[in-house]
Amino acid sequence: MTTSITIRRPDDWHVHLRDGAMLAGVVGHTARQFARAIVMPNLTPPVTDVASAVAYRDRILAAVPAGMTFTPLLTAYLTDRSDPAELVRGHAEGVFTAAKLYPAGATTNSDKGVTDIRNIDSVLEAMAAAGMPLCVHGEVTHADVDVFDREAVFIEQVLEPLLARIPGLRVIFEHITTAEAVQFVESAGANVAATITPQHLHINRNAMLVGGIRPHAYCLPVAKRETHRLALRKAAVSGNPKFFLGTDSAPHARETKESACGCAGIFNAPYALESYLVVFEQEGAIGRFEDFASRFGPAFYGLAVNEDTVTLERVEHVVPACISAGGAELVPFHAGETLGWRLV
């Protein structure tokens, strides 16, 4: 039986590091596991221009605990009024690795997002011409679309037409949750990829709703039926380079999740690699873990792989019920559960 595994140091291609005290409390968890991360721009106010991105990058770097090396890769929050020249300049200057599409109202801090994708066609055309990738929260927001159908409907109503209009655009369909998204990404061109979170590989919607409502299993896009989880697991371990690691670690203070109107987001950063590795082992695919965690993401983003390595050992350990960060209490993914792997 394999007792340890050493792989090139992975990167996280979708994470929320927040700001201020919360940033200081969570960034070390990500930096311990990952060399680089695509950092989401959904702050208040959102990161929409080069100057605010440079300032945010400086705050992130200042918050990284001493002795850790970590490179934040910033993204620009798209709005109806995004300026194509500003985004392309930010990309050329190495400030913006990508731009992020939040359909307005889809998720946490998305109210300044895009109300109709057609409003930003000129921005997306400029991005395609510059080779700047688009990260997508892929859900429609119309009140008449069921929350469990919002991703599948987004493919039909937004993503397919977008790629027909701008075929050269590089798109990362982030945190996919459905068999439809897997199928769409598999059949799309090489310019389309997807990230998959640990939670969507581990839980289906029962985890959230059976035996009582469990706010710490609630994130967006919401976990779907078991058939979708199985399709995601198959895609993640398939060795298809279009599917790679993106945790979507999204910390919210405990009381804001344990609430009559609880926030969406799962804080999985502290044990993300362990969580993914459990899935790869269960699927008999440990040999493909490094590709998913450390190679396919950089390849899609056109970046070099990391040269250093990390080692995970087979040791059972219990995930803490609670982790404090910046004065807040965070309930991590897998809280109270035993994981069979541990990052050394």
Ligand X SMILES: NC(=O)N[C@@H](CC(=O)O)C(=O)O
Query: Which residue in the list 116, 248, 291, 308 is annotated as catalytic?
Result: 248
State in angstroms the smallest separation of the CB of 14 from Zn ion: 6
Contact with Zn ion (CB under 5 A) among 8, 112, 137, 229 = 137
Task: For residue 299, say whether it is annotated as part of any ligand binding site.
Answer: no
State in angstroms the smallest separation of the CB of 110 from Zn ion: 8
257 binds, among Zn ion, ligand X, none (CB under 5 to 8 A by kind): none
Contact region for Zn ion (CB under 5 A) — 116-124, 136-144, 197-205, 296-304? 136-144
Crossing angle for the helix pair 226-236 and 272-282, to the nearest 10 degrees? 90
State in angstroms the smallest separation of the CB of 313 from Zn ion: 29
Active site residue 248: yes
- Cα gap 213→198, rounded to integer Å: 20
**Where does residue 125 rank: exposed (0-12), middle (13-18), buried (19+ CB within 10 A)?**
middle
Crossing angle for the helix pair 121-130 and 84-92, to the nearest 10 degrees? 20
Interface of this chain with Zn ion, residues 164 to 223, rule: CB under 5 A: none
Kindly tell me which of 243 and 289 has the beta carbon lying closer to ligand X.
Answer: 243
> How far, in whole angstroms, is CA 35 from its chain's centroid?
15
Task: For residue 317, say whether it is annotated as part of any ligand binding site.
Answer: no
Task: For residue 137, say whether it is annotated as part of any ligand binding site.
Answer: yes
Q: Residue 143 has what DSSP assignment?
A: T
Kindly tell me which of 71 and 249 has the beta carbon lying closer to ligand X.
Answer: 249
State in angstroms the smallest separation of the CB of 109 from ligand X: 6
Kindly tell me which of 173 and 292 has the beta carbon lying closer to Zn ion.
Answer: 173
The DSSP bridge partners found for residue 7 are 310
Kindly tell me which of 130 and 264 has the beta carbon lying closer to ligand X.
Answer: 264
State in angstroms the smallest separation of the CB of 317 from ligand X: 26
- Cα gap 273→296, rounded to integer Å: 15
Kindly tell me which of 33 and 195 has the beta carbon lying closer to ligand X.
Answer: 195
Closest CA to 268 of 194, 331, 226: 331
- Please say whether the dihedral angle defined by the alpha carbons of residues 256, 245, 195 and 127, taken in this order, is positive or negative: positive
CA distances (Å), 194 to each of 39, 175, 183, 186, 334, in order? 16, 7, 11, 9, 23
Name the site residues for ligand X (rule: CB under 6 A).
16, 42, 107-108, 137, 219-220, 248, 250, 264-265
- Cα gap 240→234, rounded to integer Å: 10
String marking each residue 101-130 x if it binds Zn ion according to CB under 5 A: ------x-----------------------
State in angstroms the smallest separation of the CB of 286 from ligand X: 27
339 binds, among ligand X, Zn ion, none (CB under 5 to 8 A by kind): none
CA distances (Å), 314 to each of 49, 134, 222, 294, in order? 44, 37, 31, 20
- Cα gap 297→195, rounded to integer Å: 9
Task: For residue 16, say whether it is annotated as part of any ligand binding site.
Answer: yes
Closest CA to 232 of 188, 286, 173, 155: 173
Contact with Zn ion (CB under 5 A) among 49, 180, 248, 274 = 248
- Please say whether the dihedral angle defined by the alpha carbons of residues 206, 212, 214 and 219, taken in this order, is positive or negative: positive
Task: For residue 248, say whether it is annotated as part of any ligand binding site.
Answer: yes
Name the residues that contact Zn ion, by CB under 5 A: 107, 137, 248
Give catalytic residues, as residue numbers.
248
Which residues make up each annotated binding site? 14, 16-18, 42, 100, 137, 175, 220, 248, 252, 264
Binding-site residue set for Zn(2+): 14, 16, 100, 137, 175, 248
